[in-house]
């Protein structure tokens, strides 16, 4: 799926019957997968140089052999077991077998190998594939071309908005006025709240802003307004009530479902799906993202598969931008129970606005945001991947000077300047399927 492949050479593990194999990969480390432990031992991770960069190779006890040997007889030898390593990272093995979860039931970034070895902004699996690609090109004598996106663009961007709040812009300043006893100011803000639209009731503005870059928005609506059992808020609006206006505001934009916190179970999800579908005259949402990026690896993907979603775009770390599965292209997640891939596509989430400036996440200064993200964007462009951006509608409010419209504009200007193809989730599914 990452490259346009016309014919594949034979690939075998060393030393099993490698007669005739055009590419041989160093002895398989698949005994790791019988241990069902989340992490490899530290001696099973080695750093090797590939095209001038140090890359971590998992399940590799560096034997001192070169990483890649292109032989004059037209064969190639890859020393580390890049197949096992790619599977380990791409399948999310660590989160499936780890017991660590945070207060929202999420696998924490702090427990990840990306954090431990410091490579969250490096799509390591794409580097493994680059090694394999070089070997394939040597033995076939044919160049392997990366996939192309709409209009021949070399990479793509997926711009998304989770709609958590439409009516709460007034609350924080009004509360602080009240707390400080500034009653006149509080009264003025309450009056404005009652008589004028809220600054976060801005879906038309969001849609138009994104469209002004030649891009299209995908809106994930949250059909649950009651808070989760632990008090964490869901939507501040009732979907049924706002629907006519919201649907008119976003025009033909793609609509996805934003499933509430505390509902990664079949019946809950089904009920919320029905609410949205009912409002859309029976049209089912194509894609899904979970509120708070809640994802239980042992349950969530099974339900998404059962309910026949075409794609999910939840898998990023809330605490850090980058690559949760160390991969910058959409992929079919692995079904641990059935030992095969699920039928829905995962479009990994690379950066969420809240990650960049939040008491529990990063605290980047406004001017640090674009430089920090640029290295990640360059990695995605290099491998022809999809850059998925989550910018909440509430952060199109000019009152937000940290992760607000100005920072969003910088990101969009950058993406456009690099000739990205702006695509929505449905288009990604069609182009990758």
Binding residues for Zn ion, rule: CB under 5 A, are: 162, 164, 291
Within 13 Å and on the Cβ side, how many CA atoms surround 335? 15
Return the DSSP state at 305: H
Tell me how far apart the alpha carbons of residues 24 and 26 are, in angstroms, rounded to a whole number.
7
Q: Which is nearer to Zn ion, 126 or 350 (CB)?
A: 350
Q: Which is nearer to Zn ion, 91 or 234 (CB)?
A: 234
Tell me how far apart the alpha carbons of residues 67 and 49 are, in angstroms, rounded to a whole number.
8
Return the DSSP state at 150: G
β-strand partners of 146? 3
Shortest spacing between CB 138 and Zn ion, in angstroms:
47
- CA 16 to each of CA 21, 62, 63, 131, 255: distance values in angstroms, whole numbers, following the listed order: 10, 20, 18, 21, 50
The tokens for 21 are 């194999």
Q: Which is nearer to Zn ion, 94 or 300 (CB)?
A: 300
Give CA angle at 328 (221, 165), nearest 5°: 20
Q: Which is nearer to Zn ion, 60 or 162 (CB)?
A: 162
Shortest spacing between CB 223 and Zn ion, in angstroms:
12
Shortest spacing between CB 230 and Zn ion, in angstroms:
15
Q: Which is nearer to Zn ion, 162 or 379 (CB)?
A: 162
Q: Which is nearer to Zn ion, 130 or 162 (CB)?
A: 162
Shortest spacing between CB 258 and Zn ion, in angstroms:
6
Shortest spacing between CB 164 and Zn ion, in angstroms:
4
Q: Which is nearer to Zn ion, 60 or 164 (CB)?
A: 164
Return the DSSP state at 10: P
Shortest spacing between CB 292 and Zn ion, in angstroms:
6
Q: Which is nearer to Zn ion, 164 or 381 (CB)?
A: 164
Shortest spacing between CB 335 and Zn ion, in angstroms:
26
The phi and psi torsions of 245 (rounded to 5 degrees) equal -70, -45
Shortest spacing between CB 39 and Zn ion, in angstroms:
30
The answer to whether the beta carbons of residues 309 and 286 sit under 8 Å apart is: yes
Shortest spacing between CB 224 and Zn ion, in angstroms:
11
Q: Which is nearer to Zn ion, 235 or 279 (CB)?
A: 235
Q: In sequence order, what are the residues at sequence separation of 6 or more whose Cβ sits closer than 8 angstroms to the Cβ of residue 43? A: 61
Environment class of residue 307 by beta-carbon count within 10 Å: exposed (0-12), middle (13-18) or buried (19+)? middle
Strand 76-78 vs strand 68-70: parallel, antiparallel, or unpaired? antiparallel
The answer to whether the beta carbons of residues 243 and 172 sit under 8 Å apart is: no
The answer to whether the beta carbons of residues 97 and 37 sit under 8 Å apart is: yes
Tell me how far apart the alpha carbons of residues 298 and 144 are, in angstroms, rounded to a whole number.
36
The candidate with the shortest Cα–Cα distance to 379, out of 346, 402, 351, 407, is 351
Tell me how far apart the alpha carbons of residues 290 and 257 are, in angstroms, rounded to a whole number.
8
Residues written for the chain = 433
Shortest spacing between CB 250 and Zn ion, in angstroms:
17
By Cβ distance, which residue is nearest to Zn ion?
291
Tell me how far apart the alpha carbons of residues 88 and 134 are, in angstroms, rounded to a whole number.
22
The answer to whether the beta carbons of residues 381 and 418 sit under 8 Å apart is: yes
Residues 75, 78, 84, 85, CA torsion sign:
negative
Tell me how far apart the alpha carbons of residues 29 and 62 are, in angstroms, rounded to a whole number.
12
Q: Which is nearer to Zn ion, 38 or 233 (CB)?
A: 233
Q: Which is nearer to Zn ion, 29 or 291 (CB)?
A: 291
Shortest spacing between CB 6 and Zn ion, in angstroms:
43
Return the DSSP state at 363: B
């Amino acid at each position: 799926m990452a490259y346009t492949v016309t014919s594949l050479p034979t690939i075998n593990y060393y030393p099993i019957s490698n007669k005739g194999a055009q590419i041989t990969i160093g002895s398989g480390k698949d005994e790791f997968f019988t241990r069902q432990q989340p992490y490899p031992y530290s001696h099973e991770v080695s750093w090797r140089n590939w095209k001038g960069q140090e890359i971590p190779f998992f399940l590799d006890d560096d034997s001192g052999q070169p990483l890649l040997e292109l032989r004059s007889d037209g064969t190639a030898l890859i020393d580390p077991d890049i197949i096992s390593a790619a599977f380990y990272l791409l399948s999310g093995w660590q989160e499936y077998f780890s017991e660590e979860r945070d207060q929202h039931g999420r696998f924490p970034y702090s427990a990840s190998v990306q954090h431990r070895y410091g490579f969250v902004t490096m799509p390591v699996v794409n580097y493994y594939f680059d090694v394999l690609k070089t070997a394939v090109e040597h033995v076939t004598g044919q160049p392997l071309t990366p996939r192309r996106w709409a209009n021949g663009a070399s990479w793509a961007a997926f711009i998304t908005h989770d709609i958590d709040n439409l009516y709460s812009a007034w609350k924080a300043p009004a509360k602080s006025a009240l707390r400080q006893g500034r009653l006149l100011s509080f009264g003025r803000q309450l009056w404005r709240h009652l008589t004028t639209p809220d600054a976060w009731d801005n879906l038309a503005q969001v849609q138009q802003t994104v469209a002004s870059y030649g891009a299209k928005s995908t809106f994930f609506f949250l059909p649950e307004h009651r808070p989760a059992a632990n008090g964490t808020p869901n939507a501040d609006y009732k979907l049924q009530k706002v629907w006519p206006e919201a649907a008119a505001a976003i025009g033909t934009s793609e609509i996805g479902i934003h499933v509430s916190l505390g509902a990664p179970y079949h019946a809950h999800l089904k009920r919320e799906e029905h609410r949205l579908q009912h409002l859309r005259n029976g049209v089912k949402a194509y894609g899904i993202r979970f509120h708070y990026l809640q994802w239980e690896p042992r349950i969530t993907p099974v339900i998404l598969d059962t309910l026949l979603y075409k794609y999910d775009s939840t898998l990023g770390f809330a605490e850090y931008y980058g690559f949760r599965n160390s991969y910058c292209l959409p992929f079919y997640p692995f079904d641990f129970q059935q030992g095969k891939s699920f039928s829905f596509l995962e479009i990994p989430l690379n950066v969420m606005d809240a990650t960049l400036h939040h008491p529990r996440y990063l605290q980047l200064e406004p001017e640090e945001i674009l430089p920090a993200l640029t290295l990640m964007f360059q990695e995605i462009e290099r491998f022809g991947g999809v850059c998925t951006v989550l910018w909440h509608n509430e952060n199109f409010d000019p009152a937000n000077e940290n992760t607000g419209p100005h920072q969003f504009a910088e990101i969009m200007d950058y993406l456009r300047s690099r000739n990205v193809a702006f695509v929505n989730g449905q288009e990604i599914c069609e182009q990758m399927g």
